[in-house]
Structure 1
Amino acid sequence: MFDYDFYWSMVWAKFPMLLDGAFLTIQITVLSVVLGLLAAIPLALWRRNGKGTLALFAGAWIESARNTPALFQIYMAYFGLGAVGLHLSSYTALLIAIVFNNAGYLAEVLRGGLEGVAPQQAPAARSLGMNAFQSFTYVIFPQLFRIIFFPFVNQVNWALLNTSLGMMIGLRELTGATQMAQAESFRTFEFFLVAAGMYYVIAKIISLGALTAAWRIFRD
């Protein structure tokens, strides 16, 4: 029989610590996605070009990000760079590692989206008198946005969950704060159950927000 006495009062007493960790988790998630997307745009274009040093650089970044564990990437940012004299805080190391990871995945999402837009679209727009900026803004981007929207949202949730690895380098994001709270109270099950629920709620808010936005944007 399941025999366990729950002590939720301990969770409530330390709940502000979990909230602080959750806010830090959300902050790192947002920053890593924004910076990752900014890095992914040139990576996708260089990889799509397929020639020269920049294409090789983009290929190495993307393959490394997608084919090595995120925890390894975090360790390389924190311990690896520290070994060569570049000492980063836990926050900075985690952010850099998740930006690196996001950029690799988002570059492929963007490249796949660009491949999904018919190549005749740009010349057709130019033949109507549009310049390059107008053809991308009014013709290419709306089609690209529709293709990449949901893969992008999935990557946001992936980044959110990857922040939990910050615990391994001493960062008190949500998982790190949960680990600290349970270590002080010895109530492992309650704290990690609540933390799992908090991750679930944040991820569902992102997903439902994306579905609502998609309904409004794509309903035509």
Structure 2
Amino acid sequence: MLSGAWVTFETAALSMILGTLIALALTVMREAQQPVLRGIGNAWVSIARNTPSLFQIYILYFGLGSLGLHVSSWFALLAGITFNNAGYLAENFRGGLKAVPTTQMRAARSLGMSAFQAYRMIIVPQLLRVVFYPLSNQMVWAVLMTSLGVIVGLNNDLTGVTQDYNVKTFRTFEYFALAAVLYYLIAKLIVAVARLMAWRLFRY
């Protein structure tokens, strides 16, 4: 089951990395002057936040499969969680961006920085301070969402391995209770590491 727990953590971590990068892009798109970019960004966030994660994974696995585009169970799960993470994180980033004074951008541009340089060197560091804890909460949520992989046949993550043991031994309570403990420990570890990182990064 520990190997399954590691697959669960890897999947969640990768979905967070990809989701964060996409969320940053969506945040910029939603603040863009071009209506098309704003529309795409707003549509992504709206769909991700207002449809069940289960449906998103189903569409990626069974929906694309019905169109002849077959993807693996793991890829469907990863893409579904990434899509969901990006939507929620983009909304968090937008709120964090509103908390950064607009004068910061104007000051950076007046010093000769490009818009990209201003975002990378001035805006994003301040933004991360605001959204750091929501990021850690979303990581915990991503770990828990990996359990949905079992519905599309994933059998090497924590829930999938637990289900296999359950089918072979019929010891449902013992194995799922142990899996619940492992999920709990992973979540608590993420929170503890996040607090340590926040203390190291944002002491001043």
TM-score normalised by the shorter chain: which range applies? over 0.9
Moved more, 44-53 or 71-80: 44-53
SS at match of 1:86: coil
Confirm or deny that 1:47 pairs with 2:24: no
1:185 to 165, 169, 186: 169
Q: TM-score under structure 1 normalisation?
A: 0.87
Q: For residue 138 of structure 1, report the CA deviation from its aligned partner.
A: 4.4
Amino acid at match of 2:38: A
CA distance in 2, matches of 1:39, 1:209: 23
Confirm or deny that 1:66 pairs with 2:49: yes
The 5 A counterparts of 1:147-186 are 147-172=130-155, 173-186=157-170
The 5 A counterparts of 1:25-174 are 25-49=8-32, 51-127=34-110, 129=111, 131-132=113-114, 135-172=118-155, 173-174=157-158
SS at match of 1:85: coil
CA distance in 2, matches of 1:217, 1:210: 10
Instruction: Name stretches of at least 5 consecutive residues in structure 2 with no aligned partner.
Output: none
* CA offsets 1:174-193 (integer angstroms, 9 cap, x no match): 11111110111111111011
Larger radius of gyration: 1
Confirm or deny that 1:202 pairs with 2:182: no
Q: For residue 125 of structure 1, report the CA deviation from its aligned partner.
A: 3.5
Say if 1:136 and 1:62 are closer, same or farther in 2 by CA, change over 3 A: closer
Q: TM-score under structure 2 normalisation?
A: 0.93
SS at match of 1:57: helix
SS at match of 1:120: helix
Q: For residue 208 of structure 1, report the CA deviation from its aligned partner.
A: 0.3
CA distance in 2, matches of 1:52, 1:104: 19
CA distance in 1, matches of 2:43, 2:151: 26
* CA offsets 1:20-57 (integer angstroms, 9 cap, x no match): 21111111111111111121111111112364112111
CA distance in 1, matches of 2:102, 2:45: 24
CA distance in 2, matches of 1:138, 1:92: 33
SS at match of 1:101: helix
CA distance in 1, matches of 2:166, 2:35: 52
* CA offsets 1:47-98 (integer angstroms, 9 cap, x no match): 1236411211111111111111111101001001111110111011111111
CA distance in 2, matches of 1:135, 1:56: 24
CA distance in 2, matches of 1:164, 1:29: 10
SS at match of 1:49: coil
CA distance in 1, matches of 2:68, 2:122: 48
CA distance in 1, matches of 2:75, 2:121: 37
* Residue of structure 2 equivalent to 1:218: 202
CA distance in 1, matches of 2:13, 2:50: 23
Q: For residue 142 of structure 1, report the CA deviation from its aligned partner.
A: 2.7
Say if 1:50 and 1:207 are closer, same or farther in 2 by CA, change over 3 A: farther
